[in-house]
Structure 1
Amino acid sequence: MTATIETAAAEGVAGVPVAVDPTAAERRALIGRWAERHGVDAARRLAEAEDLADAVAAEITPDNTTDTYTKSWRVWQRFCAVTELPELKGSRGALVAFVTWMLRESRQNGKGYAPSSASTHLAAAVVGLRQRGATVSGDDQAEARAALEGLAVKLLQAGERRGRGQAVGGDIDGLRAIARACPDTLTGARDKALTLTGFHYASRSQDPAGLLTGDVTLHPCGLVIAVLTGKTKHSVRNAKIRYADDPEICPVRAWTAYRTRLAAEHGPRWTGPSAPAFVGIDQWGHVTGGMGPDSVTRAIKRISTRARVPIAWTGHSLRIGLASVARRNGHDGIAIADQGGWARHSRSMLGYMQRDDGWDDNASAGLA
């Protein structure tokens, strides 16, 4: 049995494939312990279950999370190349040097990242190190984060403001300007429906990008949109959008007009329940497929710029706008949270509301 266990630990158990990656040694050692305790056959089955668990974890990880890890790992690799530090050593000094480098000189143009971006890259780099078998202690990571926060304060004290800041929120005047500026084309109809519906269910860029035609249902009172919601724990919320009193900015009428025109100009291919709700359209009017989150973000900026709103909107402006405008109109916070898919008493939602409350309910108002 001893020889069998040693073979299992070194090469895998009786033909169980062991992935060739930096954590393979740990997996081999674990399989060896299972073989010693439970026998070779049980160890094989446990190893197969581990492989399945790894595959499921990879499958359910959101694409944007995977993209963030990939981008941040490239930043870490660039740091290691510049400093000639070993790539798989996440020591206290290396992590502190990493955040210092990120704030001072890390970007391709020689300037540093915004502290918020550096924080994201630090967290993702630590995940990447651990995935590759490196040991990163919680204390070392905490010290790097403390260094990052302290250096960020120094930047503020020196008068440096980095990052784009919080997106501007959409408003009713902006919606009217956008509706009037949309051309009488399929692209214009799509732009109008994308903006008006997105505002009324507080969409993020990925929300309309992920919608299928079957997710949007006409109801006598308006629309019901089944939105996949949640950054980590996903669920589907049914956002209800009523007909607006003002036909010019009615999201239901805009959606109906867009879908009618799409069917008339491009046939049934794009109208089935599994077709994308919002399609990409090139400059010649050809449908190119479903819109992705980045294309939605670009579209919202382009649409608002065309309408000459005072500050161009971003992909998050519709989400901010629903919270702030609904609050201004006296809607209950719980109803707003349910419509937009926020957790009740969400800090981000309350922050969006505070933009307006801070003016109307302001301690400095009326003092002079």
Structure 2
Amino acid sequence: MAEAEDLADAVAREITPANTQDTYAKSWRVWERFTTAQGFPRNEGTRGSLVAFVMWMLREGQQNDNGYAPSSASTILAGVVVGLRERGCAVNREDQAAARKSLDGLAVRLLQEGERRGRGQAAAAEVPDLYRVVRVCPDTLAGARDKALILTGFYYASRAQDPAGLLAGDVALTPRGMVVSVLTGKTKHSVRDAKINYQDDPEICPVEAWKVYRARLAAEAPPPWSEPTAPAFVGIDRHGNVTGGMVPDSVTRAVKRISGRAGVHLAWTGHSLRIGLATTARKRGKDAVTIADQGGWARHSRSMNGYFQRVDGWEDNATAGLI
């Protein structure tokens, strides 16, 4: 039975996405700092300790002694509960609910006191921004990679982990465009085949950008980097040498760097391309189901509908066209 339990734990770790595992690990490190500072038992998640943890996170939880944003504190709390249960500590549902109720109340108190924490909603990439980006990409292998990363990512609504998980063989060219097979799913892995059409303007056509990037990679990098089993998007140093496959953090840094180089007014984050596809398609009158299928959202996704509200909140607005 003990071996079966170990096997079950190993399977659970194997099927949990890497970014989720990373979130759990970071959350647990915050909990370790809290329990050490407060002298609390590390493997006990009582009502009192969880409520105290929430208060500590909002007051001084960051390593620079500043408080976390409530949204970050909520994510960390969820990760700690998972960590406690993995370590054999039974966390009572009522105790967890009490901690969340305290977090919600304290978040309201912060707003009432004029504190605005966190970055807020990520900026959406828009079509004029895509033109700015591609026009300042240098005529190098890295520049071709940047252009392909941004344009393909916009058209299949990528998160930062999506291009990092792609292999070259996951991208297929067709007479009408390209198909990107994206590994997705937070609670289970699945693959969605995102079809991307050739665009009327080749300057911001993701298919053309992908073809140019792959041709340069084949010409300028060792042959193994062009194999179907190699990463679709690779890191490139300042000398033009391939350093390995990109990971989610390097994709996020690249998106920020690329938008900064282009002078995009609202700085992009790793989610900006994803939001950009949703809002742009909505402006163009695309059906919500079509957008959901392209971006891998559930068809009644709250997050997707929240992105739509950025558009709908202006178009269907009580103040519009009154005079």
- Report the TM-score, using the length of structure 1 for normalisation: 0.86
Tell me how far 1:329 sits from its aligned partner. 0.6
CA distance in 1, matches of 2:2, 2:38: 39
Q: Counterparts of 1:48 and 1:227 in 2: how far apart (Å)?
A: 34
- 1:146-295 to 2 correspondences below 5 Å: 146-295=101-250
Structure 1 position 306 matched with structure 2 position 275: no
Residue in structure 1 matched with residue 62 of structure 2 by the alignment: 107
- Matched residues, number: 323
- Secondary structure of the 2:61 match is coil
Deviation, structure 1 residue 83? 1.2
- Supply the distance in 2 between the matched residues of 1:159 and 1:152 (Cα, whole angstroms): 11
Look up the equivalent residue of 1:190 and give its one-letter code: R
How far, CA to CA, are the matches of 1:347 and 1:130 in structure 2? 28
C-alpha spacing 1:267/1:109, structure 2 compared with 1 (3 Å): closer
- Return the letter of the residue paired with 1:60: I
| TM-fit CA distance, 1:237 | 0.8
SS of equivalent residue, structure 2 residue 208: helix
CA distance in 1, matches of 2:251, 2:164: 7
Q: CA deviation at 1:136?
A: 2.0
- Distance in structure 2 (CA, Å) of the matches to 1:138 and 1:348: 26
Could you tell me how far 1:116 is from its partner in structure 2? 0.8
| Aligned match of 1:39 | none
Give the distance between the partners of 1:54 and 1:231, measured in 2 at CA: 18
Contact 2:24-2:83 within 8 A present in 1 as well: yes
Q: What is the Cα deviation at residue 338 of structure 1?
A: 0.6
Q: 2:188 & 2:90 partners in 1: Cα distance?
A: 28
Unaligned 5+ segments in structure 1 are: 1-45
Equivalent in the alignment of 2:17 = 62
The alignment-based identity, stated in percent, is 70
Residues 15 and 188, structure 2, Cα contact 8 Å, conserved in 1: no
Q: After the TM superposition, which of the residue ranges 177-186 and 82-91 deviates more from structure 2?
A: 82-91
User: In the TM superposition, what is the alpha-carbon distance from 1:146 to its structure 2 partner?
Assistant: 0.5
Q: Does the 8 Å contact 2:34/2:53 carry over to 1? A: yes
After superposition, give the CA deviation of every residue in 1:17-47 in whole Å (9 maximum; x if it has no partner): xxxxxxxxxxxxxxxxxxxxxxxxxxxxx44
Deviation at 1:186, TM superposition (A): 0.6
Q: Partner letter of residue 163 of structure 1? A: G
- Provide the C-alpha distance between the structure 2 equivalents of 1:266 and 1:97, rounded to a whole number of angstroms: 54
Give 2:48's aligned residue. 93
1:120 alignment partner AA = T
AA aligned opposite 1:161:
R
1:367 shift after superposition: 2.6
List runs of 5+ in structure 2 lacking aligned partners. Answer: none
- AA partner of residue 271 (structure 2): H
- Supply the distance in 1 between the matched residues of 2:206 and 2:118 (Cα, whole angstroms): 33
TM-score when normalising by structure 2: 0.97
**Counterparts of 1:133 and 1:252, CA distance in 2:** 50
Measured at CA, do residues 288 and 106 of structure 1 come closer, stay the same or move farther in structure 2, by a change above 3 Å? same
Equivalent residue for 2:278, pick from 323, 332, 341: 323
Deviations 1:296-331 (Å, cap 9, x if unpaired)?
000011111111111111110000000000110111
Partners of 2:179 and 2:195 within 8 A in 1? yes
| Alpha-carbon shift at residue 356 of structure 1 (Å) | 1.0
Relative contact order, CA 8 A, sep 6+: which one is greater? Answer: 2
Which residue in the other structure is 1:131 paired with? 86
Partner residue of 1:76? 31
Larger radius of gyration: 1
Q: Aligned-pair RMSD on alpha carbons? A: 1.1
